[in-house]
Amino acid sequence: MRPLILICLIFGLIFIFSSCSYKQDHVLLEQKISPADTFRQSNAANISNYRIRPQDILQISNIQNSKNIVDLNAGIVSSSVITAGILSGETYTVEDDGTIALTGLGRIQVAGLTRVEARKYIEDLYRKGPLKDPLLELKIMNLKVTILGEIKTQGNILLTKDKTTLIEIIGQAGGLTEKADEKNIKIIHGDQKYPKTDIIDLSNIKSINDPRTILQNNDIIIIAQNKRAVRADRLQDFSTIAQPALLIFNTALIFLTLIRL
């Protein structure tokens, strides 16, 4: 009977280790947070307060009526050239010195300005020069968040407007999967050295107005599995390991039975 007892012990150890390994495989970027951390995070800057940096990509468009573009004197860049260039919505990369080159203005400094500040600054420069009462739209095209876990489409999603919310990003990503735990949605923001975490419960209607759901550049969103999915995956993992173990166990029993005969 000793070989039989030994086989049972091995089988039991396989089950225990397979169950313990599950949690390690499915815990992603876990961090304990204090109420003080949550307060600081809820007051963090959102996209509307983001300040332009070198290598950012800006798109600038003239959304005014083209009749408001004045004729320019001879020797100066024509208004049609300006309209066909920057003011038609082309994109420009901020140089390492913080400048961009605009038609009719040359190089101007934009690094350190918010989106709204940069727009007003450029409007003022054009108003003093080749355009009459310009009405510009400026977007920062490279701001993004990353969404992972139980979501239909994982990956990077661009932040194209101010105060983009978690609900909007989940919608753009196709919605939650049937395995998602809507009560445990993790938002990680801040730099790599000082990351901060918010846990959002979307089963609570009040979360719609939660300021913590307003996303920042480079936020990471992680959608955890719900308990039912965790149990199902654990059972599947156990079944995968148990089948060959049971085969060995049955083979051993047959072998012992034959020996006794």
129 and 207, same domain (yes or no): no
Q: Which of 40, 59, 173, 118 is nearest to 165 (CA)?
A: 173
pLDDT at 19: 46
Q: What is the 3-state secondary structure (H, E, C) of the chain?
A: CHHHHHHHHHHHHHHHHHHHHHHHHHCCCCCCCCHHHHHHHHCCCCHHHCECCCCCEEEEEECCCHHHCCCCCCCCCCHHHHHHCCCEEEEEECCCCCEEEECCCEEEECCCCEHHHHHHHHHHHHHHCCCCCCCEEEEECCCEEEEEECECCCEEEECCCCCCEHHHHHHHCCCECCCEEEEEEEEEECCCCCCEEEEECCCCHHHHHCHHHECCCCCEEEEEECHHHHHHHHHHHHHHHHHHHHHHHHHHHHHHHHHHC
Sheet holding 180-189, edge to edge: 155-158, 144-149, 220-225, 180-189, 196-200
Q: Do 51 and 117 form a contact (C-beta atoms < 8 A)?
A: no
pLDDT at 71: 41
Average pLDDT over residues 165-171: 95
Q: Do 45 and 115 form a contact (C-beta atoms < 8 A)?
A: no
CATH code (residue 209): 3.10.560.10
135 and 81, same domain (yes or no): yes
| Mean pLDDT value across the chain | 76
- The yes-or-no verdict on residue 74 having pLDDT over 50 is no
136 and 149, same domain (yes or no): no
- For 173-232, what is each residue's pLDDT tens digit? 999 998 899 999 999 988 778 889 999 999 999 998 999 999 999 999 999 988 876 676
- For 4-33, what is each residue's pLDDT tens digit? 545 554 555 455 444 444 443 444 444 444
Which token pair is 110?
Answer: 């934009």
d(Cα 99, Cα 107) in Å, to the nearest integer?
6
Phi, psi at 105, each rounded to 5°:
-120, -25
Q: What is the CB neighbour count within 10 angstroms for residue 232?
A: 13
- For 24-69, what is each residue's pLDDT tens digit? 344 444 444 444 344 344 444 567 889 999 999 999 988 764 444 3
Domain tally, the chain: 2
Q: Do 212 and 221 form a contact (C-beta atoms < 8 A)?
A: no
pLDDT at 251: 76
CATH code (residue 91): 3.30.1950.10
For residue 134, the enclosing domain spans 51-140
69 and 130, same domain (yes or no): yes
Q: Give pTM, 2 decimals.
A: 0.63
Q: Do 57 and 140 form a contact (C-beta atoms < 8 A)?
A: yes
135 and 206, same domain (yes or no): no
- The yes-or-no verdict on residue 85 having pLDDT over 70 is no
Confidence of residue 89 (pLDDT cuts 50, 70, 90): low
176 and 105, same domain (yes or no): no
